[in-house]
Amino acid sequence: MPRGVAIPELRQQLFTAAERVILRDGPGRLSGRAVTTEARVAAGLLYAHFTDLDDFLAAYAVDRSFVVIAAAGRLTARAGTGDPAANLGDALLAVPRDALAALARLQILRPDLARRVRDVLGDATALDAIEQAAAAYLEAERGLGRLATRTDPEAVALALTGTLHHLVLTGDDPERLRPAITALVGTTANERSGNG
Kindly report the CATH number assigned to the domain that includes residue 42.
1.10.10
What is the sign, positive or negative, of the torsion defined by CA atoms of 158, 164, 166, 168?
negative
Same domain, 60 and 137: yes
79 CB neighbour count, 10 Å cutoff: 19
Same domain, 25 and 107: no
| For residues 84-99, average pLDDT | 87
Same domain, 71 and 154: yes
Same domain, 91 and 13: no
- pLDDT value of residue 16: 93
Please say if the pLDDT value at position 195 is more than 80.
no
Same domain, 36 and 81: no
What predicted TM-score, i.e. pTM, was given to this entire model?
0.78
Same domain, 163 and 109: yes
Question: pLDDT band at 140, cuts 50/70/90?
Answer: very high
Q: Which of 9-13, 87-91, 121-125, 155-159 has the lowest mean pLDDT?
A: 121-125
- pLDDT value of residue 124: 67
Pair 126, 64: CB distance under 8 Å? yes
Question: pLDDT band at 2, cuts 50/70/90?
Answer: very low
CA 121 to chain centre: 14
Q: How far apart are CA 53 and CA 188, in angstroms?
A: 47
Same domain, 101 and 147: yes
Please say if the pLDDT value at position 136 is more than 90.
yes
Nearest to 84, CA basis, from 162, 131, 153 = 153
Same domain, 33 and 61: no
Q: Report how many domains make up the chain.
A: 2
Same domain, 27 and 14: yes
Please state, rounded to an integer, the average pLDDT across all residues of the chain.
84
Range of the domain at 133: 53-195
Most confident segment among 1-5, 18-22, 50-54: 18-22
Same domain, 26 and 105: no
Q: How far apart are CA 28 and CA 109, in angstroms?
A: 7
Please say if the pLDDT value at position 79 is more than 60.
yes
Same domain, 45 and 129: no
Per-residue model confidence as pLDDT tens digits over 25-50: 988 898 999 999 999 998 888 888 88
Same domain, 72 and 138: yes
| For residues 14-24, average pLDDT | 93
Which residues, in sequence order, are CB contacts of 101 under 8 Å at separation 6+? Answer: 23, 168, 169, 171
Kindly report the CATH number assigned to the domain that includes residue 111.
1.10.357
Please say if the pLDDT value at position 187 is more than 70.
no
